[in-house]
Amino acid sequence: MNQQRSFTAVQHGIIQELTNAHGLEISQIGFEGDDTTPIFDFEAVCLLSLKLTDIQEIRCEITDRDADSEIVTARCSVTLPDSRMRVCEDSAKLGEIIGDGKTIDTMRFADMVAQSRAVRRGIRSVGINLFHAHNRFMRDGQTVQGHTNHDPRHPLYQEVHVLASELDLIDGTDKTLYRQFLAESYDGRQSSKDLDDVELQRFLISLRAMARVKRLSKPRAA
């Protein structure tokens, strides 16, 4: 994931802590631009979830490869100790720009990205942020407990809001540009809550790509 790219000093420190604490490889940890929240690959997510949380099982599989739209969809199921389960999906599109300008140029690569996104989404759907779980583990040695107390699509709505704000479609409480953009794309609908699961995933893919292009146009911090 990370070969042939540079990191900020803060990112280097986070990588060193994660690799020392959990035996991860540097290539399993990434970042979006200069952001300091690490992004873990599929294997790292599975390892950390078992070490840092009470999650009992994670399963992830490719469920669809749409030749027309060139979108791959993966489904992840996360099971908690009392057998409660959350199931989430996420996607990747051929030709999509990810991380530092890399392009998803093969279906195999699209499979990997879709699975990685789906499993991260699954973890968040049970109320867990793995980096926060790592910080707690380093602080007091405690693991984090998952729950099913919120809408499993809530993390997606949060990501939409963050990306739309980054793209200046949302300015504080003013969502005028965001609603116009969404309405033009989805038959007049003005809220992500009005999109079905497939539409929401595709909307996220568009916002992610736009945000990455904007980040890459900015000079990197030292």
User: What integer pLDDT is reported at residue 67 of this predicted model?
Assistant: 84
What pLDDT shows up at residue 1? Answer: 44
Q: Write out pLDDT tens, residues 4-60.
A: 467 899 999 999 999 999 999 998 998 877 889 898 888 899 899 989 999 999 999
Q: What's the chain's average pLDDT?
A: 88
Q: Which residues contact 31 (CB under 8 A, 6 or more apart)?
A: 7, 11, 37, 38, 39
Give the predicted TM-score (pTM) of the model: 0.70
Rounded distance between C-alpha atoms, residue 24 and residue 20, angstroms? 8
Checking if the pLDDT of 192 tops 60, the result is yes
Question: Greatest CA span in the chain, whole angstroms?
Answer: 50
What is the model's pLDDT at position 5? 64
Higher pLDDT, 1 or 155: 155
**What are the tens digits of pLDDT across the range 98-149?**
765 678 999 999 998 899 889 988 998 899 999 999 999 999 999 999 988 8
Q: Compute CA distances 84 → 54, 81, 126, 156, whole Å.
A: 12, 7, 10, 20
DSSP state, residue 27: G
Q: Report the alpha-carbon distance of residue 110 to residue 115 in Å, rounded.
A: 9
Token pair, residue 204, equals: 């996220």
